Structure 1
Amino acid sequence: MQDIVLDMGGKLFAEHAEAAFHAHPKDTTEGAASWMPGLWAQVGELGLPLALLSEEHGGFDLPAATAMGLVRLAAAHAVPLPLGETMIANWLLAHAGLPLAEGPATLALGPELDGDRLNGPAARVAYGRHAATVVLLAGDRLVRTDAGTVTEASHNVAGEPRDTLVFAGEVTSAPAPVNKQNFRLLGALLRAQGMAGALEAALSMTVDHANSREQFGRPLGKFQAIQQSLAVMATNVAAAGAAAVMATDLLSDALAGTGAFATAAMAAKIRTGEAAGIGASIAHQTHGAIGFSQEYRLHPLTRRLWAWRDEWGREAEWCETLGTEVCARGPDGFWPFLTSTGSAA
């Protein structure tokens, strides 16, 4: 089943890769990427937004790392859809006992509830203008509501919608299954998985270019300096992917709140963010001018890497948080903390 779902998703995204590329603005001053309703309909028909759920809730009962592999595949093909946000939204709704999302969904940190009413804005909401359902954390309550009013339609440097939504009215809520830090880290994990996928695709393109582009009578990949750069990039891509998988394997701990998920998710966001900076730089250095061309497929990948590093917490923020936790354990607690993978974290 795991292989079937990943193969199904990979083929779907590959079939729409050309359309996804052309959905992106050539210049982000032109606005955000175009919505792809036909592709989203197929994503829904295949049940991919429910991939994190058990069979009882209509999902595939897959390991979290396999289900979140769909997010990585979508990122590798630069698909401009909120698949990851919808998957996490449904996962949270299922654990909170709330109805699942209808159509595309997104995540946001919202204002405090006033009884059953939610009044106020949520900023930089991914795909807010296209979301049929918004899942917000308001204090210690998980809120499920229809899309709010878009008061500012904006986008990140990759052309992905990042909108300000304003809510005013009664909403459905339940006790939140995660705390605020873990809610933010769920978003950080999405970006870590996305960066891992985009890095893998960028590495593949860079290696292909180095092996096919000739300079001074031989392929670029035959030059020792290029080989060294590609080795550095490949090492960072592998480390980023491993960090993202490790955090995803501990997804269920986000509900228990023992700290294992938080530690791994912070480390994943830090490591993938670092790899994004190194990988994007090497990819463009190897490609030269063609890598910056608006007609070339590298720039939707590297633009996402630059944008996703800053979303749901930058490396500096999570480094400070994680470093504070490490220092609080003292010298005797550092090694057990570093080597633990479960409840000891």
Structure 2
Amino acid sequence: MARNTELAELAESIFAASYDKDATGLDAAAWKACAESGLTTLTDPEVGGTLEDSAVLLEAAGAWAARVPLAETDLLGGWLARAAGLAVPDGPLAAVTAGVTGGDADTVSVELRRVPWGRSLAAVVVLDGDRVLVLDTAGAAVTEGANVAEEPRDTLRFTGVTPVAAAAAPAGAAAELELRAALGRSLLLAGAARGALARSIGYAGERQQFGRPIARFQAVQQMLAEAGSEVAAAAAASAAAARTARTAGFGDPATEFAVAAAKARCGEAATAVARIAHQVHGAIGFTREHDLRLVTTRLWAWRDEDGNESRWNDRVGELALQAGADGLWPLVTGRP
């Protein structure tokens, strides 16, 4: 995928301006800047961005460990609301699949667990079987939680609340929502891997041992080369998945195959790159004071979120078997 240089530069400038290695929770300054630039609704037809544009944005967000729910808002919550014909609420969003119980004809009750950025969301878009509900988080009781990267993963409890809006779910919504979540996470993983590699190369060039930078030692060079190959593989797989989703649509088996392969490959890269980054940094890389943890903890957290490596590798195998001998080549290459 040709990198959208202008968009990449805009995203990098926003994330760099508000970067704070010691902060947690929503980065309000970065969110405001992204919203004003149209990046929080990038794939909205009225904005005109593509999934490949979103790939550039999310990779940058991953590299900078940006504390903004861009994938959750645009690729998931915003998409699901639009697909159901509902107005998209302003502010940070998330989308979840959950079984909702009704208090009466007009109200619902539900407990939503490990909602990304739950405490900071304006609304949650819920896929409840054959309907889509928009729930205002002002009516939720929040139990705060976090993943290993200290990103909010909260429990939201709604009791007898009236949805902001409701509509019939579009056909295939659950399958598409799952693929969109895996694609978004793959792109973030690719970016975080790039960020970890960049920090490692920089440190290896600065750290002196036996009178010279450790980057001049062959063993360190080999580790960095291995990490570089993993970063390249993750970037290629996630970019290919975004491109396939744009051209073929999420209902095409080729997209499911590409997304499954990307999430599995990015999860594999996450493990290798995090390991190598910490080996290069030595003991200093394990301290809370060092910003390496911002990307490596995200690599560890995100490789398991939205389906881990084993789950998506299994799906790759299932799709290959379903395609059969004659259909495997077109499935893998996208060509007849």
TM-score by length of 2: 0.90
Match of 1:165 among 132, 139, 156: 156
Find the counterpart in structure 1 of residue 18 from structure 2. 16
1:158-189: CA deviation from partner (whole Å, max 9, x where unpaired): 00010111234332233334432321221111
CA deviation after TM superposition for structure 1 residue 270, in Å: 0.3
CA contact (8 A) 1:107 1:126 kept: no
CA contact (8 A) 2:257 2:319 kept: no
Equivalent residue letter for 1:179: A
Find the counterpart in structure 2 of residue 193 from structure 1. 187
Equivalent residue letter for 1:7: E
CA contact (8 A) 1:153 1:163 kept: yes
Find the counterpart in structure 2 of residue 50 from structure 1. 41
Question: Once the two structures are aligned, what percentage of the paired residues are identical?
Answer: 38
Find the counterpart in structure 1 of residue 82 from structure 2. 94
User: Do the aligned partners of residues 49 and 227 (structure 1) sit closer, same or farther apart at CA in structure 2, a change above 3 Å counting?
Assistant: same
Match of 2:169 among 176, 179, 193: 176
User: Do the aligned partners of residues 94 and 285 (structure 1) sit closer, same or farther apart at CA in structure 2, a change above 3 Å counting?
Assistant: same
User: Do the aligned partners of residues 108 and 256 (structure 1) sit closer, same or farther apart at CA in structure 2, a change above 3 Å counting?
Assistant: closer
| Matching of residues 229-308 of structure 1 within 5 Å | 229-252=223-246, 257-308=251-302
3-state DSSP of counterpart to 2:88: coil
CA contact (8 A) 2:253 2:331 kept: no
User: Do the aligned partners of residues 225 and 134 (structure 1) sit closer, same or farther apart at CA in structure 2, a change above 3 Å counting?
Assistant: same
Find the counterpart in structure 2 of residue 331 from structure 1. 325
1:80-125: CA deviation from partner (whole Å, max 9, x where unpaired): 1212211112233223321012111112122146576543222111
1:290-339: CA deviation from partner (whole Å, max 9, x where unpaired): 11111111001100000001111111111112212212333343333222
C-alpha distance in structure 2 between counterparts of 1:119 and 1:326, whole Å: 41
3-state DSSP of counterpart to 2:126: strand
Equivalent residue letter for 1:35: L
Match of 1:125 among 103, 111, 115: 115
CA contact (8 A) 2:50 2:246 kept: no
Equivalent residue letter for 2:40: P
1:262-297: CA deviation from partner (whole Å, max 9, x where unpaired): 111111110100000000000000110111111111
Find the counterpart in structure 1 of residue 67 from structure 2. 80
CA contact (8 A) 2:7 2:56 kept: no
CA contact (8 A) 2:193 2:270 kept: yes
3-state DSSP of counterpart to 1:79: coil
C-alpha distance in structure 1 between counterparts of 2:169 and 2:257, whole Å: 20
Quick check: 131-140 or 293-302, which moved more? 131-140
User: Do the aligned partners of residues 250 and 95 (structure 1) sit closer, same or farther apart at CA in structure 2, a change above 3 Å counting?
Assistant: farther
- The CA RMSD measured in Å over matched residues stands at 2.1
Find the counterpart in structure 2 of residue 66 from structure 1. 53
Quick check: 221-230 or 38-47, which moved more? 38-47
Structure 2 residue runs without a partner (length 5+):
none
Equivalent residue letter for 2:80: L
User: Do the aligned partners of residues 338 and 4 (structure 1) sit closer, same or farther apart at CA in structure 2, a change above 3 Å counting?
Assistant: closer
1:190-242: CA deviation from partner (whole Å, max 9, x where unpaired): 11111111111111111111122122222211121111111111011011011
CA deviation after TM superposition for structure 1 residue 139, in Å: 1.4
C-alpha distance in structure 1 between counterparts of 2:288 and 2:53, whole Å: 33
CA contact (8 A) 1:199 1:276 kept: yes
Equivalent residue letter for 1:166: R
CA contact (8 A) 1:111 1:122 kept: no
C-alpha distance in structure 1 between counterparts of 2:22 and 2:322, whole Å: 50
Match of 1:39 among 24, 30, 40: 30
